[in-house]
Structure formats: C-alpha cells, structure tokens
Amino acid sequence: MKRYLYTLLCTLLLAVGCSKSDGDPTPPESQVAEQTLLMYFPWSGNLTSFFLTNIEDMKSVIAKGTPENCRVLVFLMQFGTGNEEAGKLIGDLFELVEEQGKVVQKYHKHYLEPAITTTEGIRTILRDVQTIAPAKRYAMTIGSHGMAWLPAQPETSTLNVEPSYASEASHAEYWEQTTPDGLPITRWFGGTSEQHRTDISTLAEAIAAANIHFEYILFDDCYMSSIEVAYELRHVTDHLIASPNEIMAYGFPYAQCGRYMIGEPDYEGICRTFYNFYLGYVDNYGVSRPYGTIAVTRCAELEGLARVMQQINAASKGVQVDINTIQRMDGYHPQRFVDYGDYVRTLCSDEQLLTAFEVQLERTVPSACRRHTPRFYTQNGTILIETFTGLTTSDPSTSELCLSKDQTSWWKATH
C-alpha cells in the first residue's frame, strides 16, 4: 500500500512539473489543424444582414468540401436582445462544421461587452481561437466598416471642431447612408461611432501579444488596402488582402472566393474571382453596380519598399505636388487617399530611383494580384480608374482628418 501511494505521489508530482506554466498544454499533433480561418466581425449594426449572408456563403463552400483538417471559426458581434443583454454588445465564437450532411454553427464561447477595441480584448479572442482550434497556419478575415489607417479618435486642427469623421465632408460618410435615397450601403475597421472602432496599431499589438502569425489578413472593409495599414501589420501577417476603395455592403463573394481561401491560399484566384463577381454585380434592388477593386500586398517586401521611398523623399525634398493631378481613390473633399504609385511617379523625377521603385512595387503588390473594374464607387459618385497600384497613401493629403499621418509607422520609416 505504501509503495502504491509513493508511486502515485511521484506520478502526480511529475505531471505537475511537466505542465506548462501558462495553463495551455500543447495539444496532441492529431488535434492540430493544417489551417484555422477566423472570420472576425467586430461590429455589425447596419451590416448585420450582410454578415449573416457572408457566413451562409462560407457554409456553402464547406458543404461542397474543403481541404482535409482545415477549420473555420467565426466571431460575430451584435447587440443583445435578451432581458439581461438588451442594448449591450455581445460576441459569439462559433465554428462552421459539417454534421450529417449539413453545415451548422457549433458554439464555443459567449462574450458580454467584449473589449474589441483594446489590445487585451482582441488578444483574448485570438487566444481562445488558438485554444479551440490549434493549427499549423492561421488566416483571418475582418468584416466591418473601414477607413484605412485613420485613427479611431481623429485629431482636429485649431479650429476647435468636434472630432467627427463627417465634420469636413460635404455629404454623409458612407456608413451613414441608408437605402431609401437609392444609394447602396458600403463597408472602418469597426463601427459607425468612435467607441466601436479599433486602431490598426492596436490590432497589430494584439496579434503580436497573442503570439500568433497570420498567413493572410483579408479586410472586408472599405479603404483598407493602404500602404500605411500594410506597413503597420507587416510583422504579424504574410499577406494583406484588401480594397483601396469602398466595398459594396455585400462584401467579399465568399461563396466563390472561399475555395481559394481555405487550405493553401490562392491569391491570384481570390483577386480574379472578386473582380469577376463585381464586374457583373447587381444589388438587391436589381441595379447594376459593377464596382470592385482588390489587391494583395506581400508584407515581407514592405521594408524594401520603405527604403526606396525614403530615398525618393530625400531626393524630392521641397517638391510641391498638386494632389488634383494624382489618381484620387475616394470621393472626399479634400481627398484623404490617392493611388500610391501615381503619387510617387508625380513626386519623383529621378529615373534611377523610379526604376528601383517600380521593381520593388511589383515585388510588393504583384500585377497578377491587382484587379479593378473600370470605375470605383463612392457615395459622392463613381470615379474612373486611370492608374491603379492597389495601394493608397495619404502622404499628400491636406484633409483635417489626416493630420496625424506623420505619426504612422510608414511616415516615420520613409521621412
């Protein structure tokens, strides 16, 4: 009996000594997926019905069969409706799984008022994903509104105006539009009010804090294919997939693109399918809306692009650029975003530096992964695309909302 108790005690002590201090034991190899894709919807509001369609579309992809040992999780934020949660933001983390020939939602965790605008709040969600669906590779889509790199709480000038994204616009922001006036809704990173928005730097910090690295982050949000955004995320993802313009509220056509996203990503396939879908897109009112732009940025090449850009800025010091001669990428006045490549070509007169720029730009945003319809959509009308790099910049912008551009990582690296 004494020998049994001694053996049992030694076994228990050994087990305690070998456990991980953070309480997250390494899962068996058989439980580690090849890829886990997280569809992240950190706010819904006027886009809820479109997000639900996105989820159903992804279910249709899974129903047709996906690469073995790949998992798809969804984090969806909504306003609660129950007695205890009415009016509060709630989040659900669930998985899309096939059961008895049907794809269903398997719920894993419920969050009440999750802090989706803080580093710790996002880190917690990402750690939950890692615990529930550990994988060799991770990918992420983000569906919400978007406004490139602009801070969630923008600075204002000395005019003492209220810090609002609609303060300088001659029209309502795109997320404030409603369908009765005939204008379609389009897609911040987050919601329509400042308390529901997340800074890009916060997202990058949260991903790093969760000790996770994504093979791609796909922004299903307006204006997110920005050099400032990409550079901020360069250490936490290999690829950035996004649109430099407004995206129609329908978002990415997951039913068509999904098969290129799950498993081994096919970036050219994603861009081609997105382009073909929007070239023939008809909205819920039966109106043709052939407007869609998409690009893939290879983040490993961004440091090289920053070095060339720093040389160009040094060589072009004092050069005044007329922003009205550059391909505009929004419908705002003054402009917030212009085509990055067209800006550089306007700024720089050094042929050797321009050649180096073009070579590095092709490495960073390959031509095969830049697609656009003839025009792009804005709430202030459609605009012809004459030059398309796939990335925007706010470097020449005089918009009050771009005052803090010199605080971005990109600006600091290139000026």
* 70-79 and 33-41 strand pairing: parallel
Indicate if the pLDDT at residue 181 is higher than 60. Answer: no
Domain borders along the chain are 31-155+166-414
User: Do residues 238 and 214 lie in contact, with contact meaning Cβ atoms separated by under 8 Å?
Assistant: yes
Model confidence band, residue 153 (pLDDT cutoffs 50, 70, 90): low
Q: Report the SS3 class of residue 247.
A: coil
Distance between CA 413 and CA 415 in Å, rounded? 6
297-308: per-residue pLDDT in tens? 999 999 999 999
pLDDT of residue 312: 98
Q: Tell how strand 239-242 and strand 102-112 pair up.
A: unpaired
DSSP state of 251: -
Query: Which structure tokens are listed for 323?
Result: 């922003």
Q: For 55-90, b where at least 16 C-beta lie within 10 A, e where not — what string?
A: bebbbebbeeebeeebbbbbbbbbeeeeeeeeeebb
Q: What is the pLDDT of residues 63-115, one digit of tens each?
A: 999 888 999 999 998 887 777 787 788 899 999 999 988 999 999 999 998 89
pLDDT digits (tens, 9 = 90+) for 375-415: 999 988 999 999 999 999 999 999 998 999 999 999 999 99
